[in-house]
Amino acid sequence: MRTADLTLDTVVRLLSENEASARQTLSMVPSETSMSGLAKLPMLLDPYHRYFFNEGDDPDRWHFRGAQRLRDLEMELTVPLLQELGRASYASVRPLSGLNGMTLVLGALGGEPGSTVVTVSPEQGGHYATPQVAGRLGLDVEFLRGPDPHSLDLEHAAELLARVRPSLVYVDQSHCLFPVDVKSLVETVRAASPGTLVHVDASHWLGLVLGDAFPNPLDQGADSWGGSTHKTFPGPQKAVVLTRDPQVEQLIRDAQDFLISNHHFAATIALGISLLEFREFGPAYTRAVLEHTGRFGRLLTERGLTVAAADRGYSAGHQLWLDTEADGIAPKDAAARLSAASLKVNFMAGLPGFTGQGVRIGLNEATYQGLSGDDIDELADIFVAAVRDTEPAALLAERTAALRTRTPYGACAPDGSPLLATALDLCEGALRRTGAAAGRPLTEASR
């Protein structure tokens, strides 16, 4: 399509077509999860355009007043809920994404240029970007390694830590089926290099920690933890950093003003709405994610696909890795067949233990969309038929669409409710109103 063809009508048509398709599709990409429509609402409204810098509500610091009326939605909703669910005394909602959060933590806690940080080797699932980001900040990088794709060698870690005395151990599992034993790692750090800080980037696990399905890294001795808010946590594309240590808090605070200016105020409100919802359904949702992931791994194995780590129970979290090459199917072909059946997955190189590419899937969004019980068996049947190309893709896509009729977790606005009326009025107003002469007051919708 040529740029000249992309009129506003065309753009809206393409968005409409994509939305219609998305509502009949299941994403099984483990690094993505949707959030409720109510949580998306701030993105359409005035807060999306506003700066917010006055966390302390200091009358002398309202240099940007556009967010003043909604200050409490960040400081009395989002931040306290994050502290409550994350069991932290301090929470930064400044980072814009997981990688942006990584940059903030490395910049704040990594020490002066020339300092050493230790992170997880890519062979054990470490994030591809950590060494590059650290290097661009002038930091030297050493790696924690292990005997297999899912474990760390703590004896090697102790020797490394005692030798290099790093400023920071940054635990950054990105490709991971089983989380690092944070408690044992922290004990190793404290014994070998007592002055070293430990930060756990739990981007993939964040929802599982906030929902009490995984241990909290702070309870296990880490100095700080955080990660992106849109993987196992069903929130906006953003990231957070949490700690109980006032010195770590101050280091984060000192760095964040210079690394992140506009932290996207509307997204922090969306995060607050998501946290408010999650406080109610989070434990049930996260337990279901773990149950569905283990069950799905067994179902795929029973149906003849090769699933990594079968001898270890497939996964401790929401991810599964498939070696479709071992089944005679190129991963890109498997992903394309699944897409035709309205199932979206990753295929990629670099999965620990794989010599070639693999297919990476997650049960987080399928669970959030309300699948349960026999739905997981039906999903496995559709999945395997698509990968093996044994049934027409159009028929499989119809079966996938039928699964999307389930009721998702999260808040909804029931038909006829004042909440729905007000939300729809806000949406209409964002599209129609111009200035003070616009339509009826918003409050009429909720009367």
Phi then psi for residue 376, to 5 deg, are: -70, -35
Average pLDDT over residues 129-151: 96
Average pLDDT over residues 222-249: 97
Average pLDDT over residues 328-354: 97
Q: Indicate the pairing of strand 358-362 with strand 346-348.
A: antiparallel
Q: 157: which 2 tokens?
A: 């870690």
Report how far residue 73's alpha carbon sits from residue 179's, in angstroms, rounded to the nearest whole number.
33
Report how far residue 92's alpha carbon sits from residue 206's, in angstroms, rounded to the nearest whole number.
14
DSSP characters for 16-57?
A: HHHHHHHTT-EE--TT-----HHHHGGGGSGGGG-----TT-
pLDDT at residue 412, rounded to an integer: 73
pLDDT at residue 446, rounded to an integer: 40
pLDDT at residue 119, rounded to an integer: 97
pLDDT at residue 414, rounded to an integer: 81
Report how far residue 348's alpha carbon sits from residue 368's, in angstroms, rounded to the nearest whole number.
24
pLDDT at residue 88, rounded to an integer: 98
Contact 118, 288 (CB under 8 A): no
Report how far residue 126's alpha carbon sits from residue 198's, in angstroms, rounded to the nearest whole number.
15
Report how far residue 309's alpha carbon sits from residue 295's, in angstroms, rounded to the nearest whole number.
14
Q: Can you list the positions of beta strands (E) in 299-420? A: 319-322, 343-344, 346-348, 358-362
- Does residue 197 have a pLDDT over 60? yes
Mean pLDDT of the chain: 94
Please tell me the pTM assigned to this model: 0.94
pLDDT at residue 1, rounded to an integer: 63
Per-residue pLDDT band for 433 (boundaries 50, 70, 90) equals: low
- Does residue 94 have a pLDDT over 50? yes
- Does residue 318 have a pLDDT over 60? yes
Per-residue pLDDT band for 435 (boundaries 50, 70, 90) equals: low
Tens of pLDDT, residues 23-39: 999 999 999 999 999 99
Question: In Å, how far are 94, 110, 268, 326 from 260, measured between CA atoms?
Answer: 7, 17, 14, 45
Q: Residue 319 carries which DSSP code?
A: E
Tens of pLDDT, residues 109-130: 999 999 999 999 999 999 999 9
Per-residue pLDDT band for 445 (boundaries 50, 70, 90) equals: very low
Question: In Å, how far are 32, 231, 249, 290, 427 from 319, measured between CA atoms?
Answer: 11, 11, 32, 9, 35
Of the candidates 96, 97, 103, the one whose C-alpha atom is nearest the C-alpha of residue 136 is: 103
Report how far residue 216's alpha carbon sits from residue 182's, in angstroms, rounded to the nearest whole number.
9
Q: 45: which 2 tokens?
A: 């409204």
Tens of pLDDT, residues 358-396: 999 999 999 999 999 999 999 999 999 999 999 999 999
447 or 343: which leads in pLDDT: 343
Largest Cα separation within the chain, whole Å, is 71
Of the candidates 213, 220, 246, 261, the one whose C-alpha atom is nearest the C-alpha of residue 50 is: 261
pLDDT at residue 110, rounded to an integer: 97
Average pLDDT over residues 51-78: 94
Q: Other C-beta atoms within 10 Å of 138: how many?
A: 12
Question: In Å, how far are 293, 340, 341, 343, 373 from 379, measured between CA atoms?
Answer: 12, 14, 11, 9, 11
Of the candidates 255, 213, 244, 210, the one whose C-alpha atom is nearest the C-alpha of residue 229 is: 210
| pLDDT above 90 as % of the chain | 91
pLDDT at residue 413, rounded to an integer: 79
Q: How many residues does the chain have?
A: 447
Tens of pLDDT, residues 248-257: 999 999 999 8
Average pLDDT over residues 77-88: 98
Report how far residue 270's alpha carbon sits from residue 259's, in angstroms, rounded to the nearest whole number.
22
pLDDT at residue 5, rounded to an integer: 75
